[in-house]
């Protein structure tokens, strides 16, 4: 594809979304995820994982109905982990929805977020090396576990020669990846980018690790609700096709929405305890970058993990950023439906936000039992709400105090 947009030091290329693909606890495809979301259902269920004679059961949203052999050959499965497979499937859907042909993809960027990478192969290697006392790991352990495997496999499948890398900032990785991709398109380093996040770590070791941090729910994830007890693990992938506005218009592509602005920050406080100042800085920067005022925003897609502390702090963040406008905002967390997908969360939750903008529907916060005195905003409890969304904010706040916010608007 010939270059339409010159390199622009001023970053003046506008960036739009033309395709989306999803793998979630509701199954494969955006249609299944969106149907589950608007119906107010939750894909979270009690899930057991074992390691030798040990077993753990916790609430989690695993990908429903997934049969790897239906999507990949035996040779491909030998070299890939579920986190890579989910990304490839979501990429196929996003590329198809965008109507991209091979000629559009050669110079594209592939920038993904991922928190854990190939956790399943690491767990299998530990079982063989330490449990069964075998002298060596499986020879495909290294290529399967590398975080960048998902990027490499997507590039191979679609013959993409442009920039490719993975951002590993935990729960904020997907949103950081979208911000980085948008930045590259703004400045003309690419015209098309595949971005978002992927994760597959509903495994024994991960469950035990988060148990130790006392962040996993006892029953289910109920963000901002009274009697909430933590998050539920989730897996899947959410990938988006971003394009410069001129590229999308030249192709006659359908524009889903615009990545209008983004903000990133660090708490510089505590590795586990969130603060207000870091997230506030990220959200304010995203609004400023987008040229949007607080009263332009209709909906906030919250980080909304369902832990006691996170939800209290996030409520205060919204009040500090939006001031008097906070009480009229609609706020929800799709983690109540698809679980906390960590590196995939930013991508999947942004997709739900953009789909809601397109359809005029705000996703609900499922499993809501009633108000908590410290969480006193409109969290769209249990039922989706029909309303026109002209602009929205997606918030992602990760362990370690790293934050990202994305501002999107209707075209």
Instruction: Report the catalytic residues.
Output: 171, 303, 340
Please report the DSSP string for 26-57 in residue order: TEESHHHHHHHHHTT----EEEEEEETTEEEE
**Location of structure tokens 């332009």:** 296
Q: Are 164 and 184 in contact (CB under 8 A)?
A: no
**Location of structure tokens 């996040």:** 197
Distance from C-alpha of 7 to C-alpha of 106, rounded to nearest angstrom: 18
Strand, coil or helix: 339: coil
For residue 83, which phi and psi values (nearest 5 degrees)?
Answer: -65, -35
Task: Single out the residue of 201, 392, 233, 397 nearest to residue 309, CA to CA.
Answer: 397
Q: Are 220 and 234 in contact (CB under 8 A)?
A: no
**∠ at Cα 122 (155, 136), nearest 5°?**
105
For residue 187, which phi and psi values (nearest 5 degrees)?
Answer: -95, 5
Q: How many CB atoms lie within 10 A of CB 390?
A: 12
**How much of the chain is in helix, strand and coil states, percent to nearest 5?**
40, 25, 35
Q: Greatest CA span in the chain, whole angstroms? A: 63
72: tokens are: 């990949």
């Amino acid at each position: 594809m010939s270059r339409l947009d010159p390199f622009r030091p001023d970053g003046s290329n506008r960036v739009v979304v033309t395709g989306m693909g999803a793998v979630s606890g509701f199954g494969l495809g955006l249609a299944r995820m969106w149907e589950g979301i608007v119906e107010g259902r939750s894909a979270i269920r009690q899930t057991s994982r074992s390691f030798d004679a040990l077993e753990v059961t916790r609430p989690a949203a695993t990908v429903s109905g997934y049969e790897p052999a239906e999507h990949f050959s035996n040779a491909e499965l030998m070299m890939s982990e579920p986190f890579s497979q989910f990304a490839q499937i979501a990429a196929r859907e996003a590329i198809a929805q965008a109507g991209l042909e091979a000629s559009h993809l050669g110079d594209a960027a592939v920038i993904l977020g991922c928190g854990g990478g190939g956790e399943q192969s690491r767990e299998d290697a530990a079982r063989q090396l330490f449990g069964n006392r075998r002298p060596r790991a499986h020879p495909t352990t290294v290529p399967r576990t590398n975080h960048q495997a998902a990027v490499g496999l997507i590039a191979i499948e679609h013959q993409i020669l442009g920039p490719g890398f993975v951002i590993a900032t935990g729960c904020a990785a997907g949103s950081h990846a979208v911000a980085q991709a948008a930045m590259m398109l703004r400045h003309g380093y690419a015209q098309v980018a595949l971005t978002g996040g992927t994760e597959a770590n509903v495994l024994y070791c991960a469950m035990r690790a988060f148990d130790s941090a006392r962040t996993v729910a006892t029953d289910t994830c109920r963000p901002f609700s009274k009697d909430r007890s933590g998050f539920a693990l989730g897996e899947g992938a959410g990938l988006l096709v971003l394009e410069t506005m001129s590229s999308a218009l030249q192709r006659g592509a359908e524009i889903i929405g615009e990545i209008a602005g983004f903000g990133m920050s660090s708490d510089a406080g505590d590795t586990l305890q969130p603060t207000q100042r870091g997230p506030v800085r990220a959200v304010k920067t995203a609004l400023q970058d987008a040229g949007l005022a607080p009263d332009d925003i209709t909906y906030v897609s919250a980080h909304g993990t369902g832990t006691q502390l996170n939800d209290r702090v996030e409520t205060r963040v919204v009040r500090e950023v939006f001031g008097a406008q906070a009480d009229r905002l609609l706020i929800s967390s799709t983690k109540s439906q698809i679980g906390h997908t960590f590196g995939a969360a930013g991508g999947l939750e942004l997709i739900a936000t953009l789909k809601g903008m397109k359809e005029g529907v705000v996703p609900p916060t499922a499993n809501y039992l009633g108000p908590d005195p410290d969480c006193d905003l409109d969290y769209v409890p249990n039922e989706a709400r029909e309303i026109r969304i002209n602009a929205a904010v997606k918030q992602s706040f990760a362990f370690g105090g790293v934050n990202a916010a994305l501002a999107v608007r209707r075209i």
